[in-house]
Amino acid sequence: MSSAAFDSMWSALEQVGRVGSGGYRRFAWTPEDRTLREWFAAECARRGLDLTVDRVGNQWAWWWDGPGTVDDAVAAGRPGVAIGSHLDSVPDGGAFDGPLGVVSALATVDRLREAGVRPDVPLAVVNFVDEEGARFGVACAGSRVLTGQLTPERALALRDADGTTYAEALRAAGRDPAELGPDDETLRRVGTFVELHVEQGRALVDLGAPVAVASDIWPHGRWRFDFSGEANHAGTTRLEDRRDAMLGYADLVLGARHVATQRGCVATVGKVAVTPGAVNAVPSRVTGWLDARGPQEDQVRALVDELTGRAGETGAQVVRESWTPTTRFDAALGDRLRQVLARAGGAAEPLSVPVLGTGAGHDAGILATAGVPSAMLFVRNPTGVSHSPAEHAERADCHAGVEALVACVRDLTSLRAAPAADGADA
């Protein structure tokens, strides 16, 4: 039954925001995003979940059949468990990054009900808004504002490529920008967050396992490099007279690769804007965006310092747009989930469940930083490709992911499982 529910939800989403490449363009606060948010709300309504939207626009759908409200339950020492992910995408992104976690969370509710499970604590399915930062340049904006890690003033001033501010985009989507801000009332309800996500690498292929538990998120950040020059004719301007902004940018791209190799990091310049942007004009301004990550925080910092120094020699301006130090997921929670998954898989040994670090940022990392015990489950991706139309997970693995999430939620929402938690906390 649950497989059918998963499959039909998956089909319903398949065409939303799909572009010619076969990938998706589902950016925050666009008509595609609205369609996805309405789809989410309808799926929650169909299940009788109580949908609330926080001050940021994240959608939380609560299942609580116990006495009183969700807030009453939390006040009585029954903090909620939240599961879910995001529905937005990068430009020409894949189908799985984000939606797999949301669809799996909704399918988990169905499976629990089929099994006659009634959670002892409130359970929420969440759809985080603007996780990818594809439109306004700040990843995990929804969870960052929620937790106070991005101020509303800064968020509202962000602009997309067309010059539209975040505030204008919110207004166009029918929201009041003045409402944007941290939302402690929402956060207080969430005692634990588990985000299921497609793996963005191919470790699970090599390990021969469909599901892993996450250990940490590598430190990562984004920097904007502005190189300036002077626009001039590409045919009549002598080489020695040129001030070509593209040259500094070219050095950044090659330098990023070189220094990242030396320091055991990864660095990418995946976005560039050229002014005036004509084939026959010397560029007067080139802006490149650097994304840098790695397992060691000091090495990532050293990489960026070195590239900033090189760019500075050409007079470039460098602005840090975001920075997230190493995020460690809750170790006791991770161990507990490994035990649950090992038991559910018929193995006595939790070590049979793989643990993976990741170079990708996630809302679960933002919540973990805010002090919410958080965990992630990764579902095998046969190609390892992500943020591309080629991103994939076999349907059987998607179903295995749902079963894993069901087992975890059953455990986390059952107060009878409390002794295991105490043991894990010790």
Q: Give contact residues for Zn ion (rule: CB under 5 A).
A: 97-98
**Closest by Cα among 188, 198, 166, 201 to 56:** 166
Phi first, then psi: what are they for 123, rounded to 5°?
A: -120, 130
At its nearest, how many Å lie between Zn ion and the CB of residue 362? 6
At its nearest, how many Å lie between Zn ion and the CB of residue 337? 19
At its nearest, how many Å lie between Zn ion and the CB of residue 100? 9
Cβ-based nearer residue to Zn ion, 220 or 263: 220
Residue identified by tokens 């009900």 is 113
Cβ-based nearer residue to Zn ion, 98 or 350: 98
Cβ-based nearer residue to Zn ion, 86 or 338: 86
Buried b or exposed e, range 322-345, using 16+ CB within 10 angstroms: bebebbebbeebbbbbbbbbbebb
At its nearest, how many Å lie between Zn ion and the CB of residue 394? 19
Cβ-based nearer residue to Zn ion, 122 or 142: 142
Cβ-based nearer residue to Zn ion, 97 or 130: 97
At its nearest, how many Å lie between Zn ion and the CB of residue 24? 12
> What distances in angstroms separate CA 3 from CA 201, 221, 329, 374, one per listed residue?
25, 38, 29, 26
At its nearest, how many Å lie between Zn ion and the CB of residue 110? 22
> What distances in angstroms separate CA 137 from CA 26, 28, 101, 168, one per listed residue?
14, 11, 22, 16
At its nearest, how many Å lie between Zn ion and the CB of residue 31? 21
Cβ-based nearer residue to Zn ion, 17 or 98: 98
Taking phi first (over 0 means left), then psi (-120 to 50 degrees means alpha), and beta for anything else, what does residue 193 get? beta
The rounded Cα 363 to chain-centroid distance in angstroms is 5
Pairing of strands 220-228, 374-379: unpaired
Cβ distance 399 to 4 under 8 Å? no
Cβ-based nearer residue to Zn ion, 94 or 229: 94
At its nearest, how many Å lie between Zn ion and the CB of residue 85? 6
Cβ-based nearer residue to Zn ion, 101 or 119: 101
Taking phi first (over 0 means left), then psi (-120 to 50 degrees means alpha), and beta for anything else, what does residue 387 get? left
Closest residue to Zn ion in the complex (CB): 97
DSSP string, 262-308: HHT-EEEEEEEEEES--TTEE-SEEEEEEEEE-S-HHHHHHHHHHHH
Cβ distance 409 to 328 under 8 Å? no
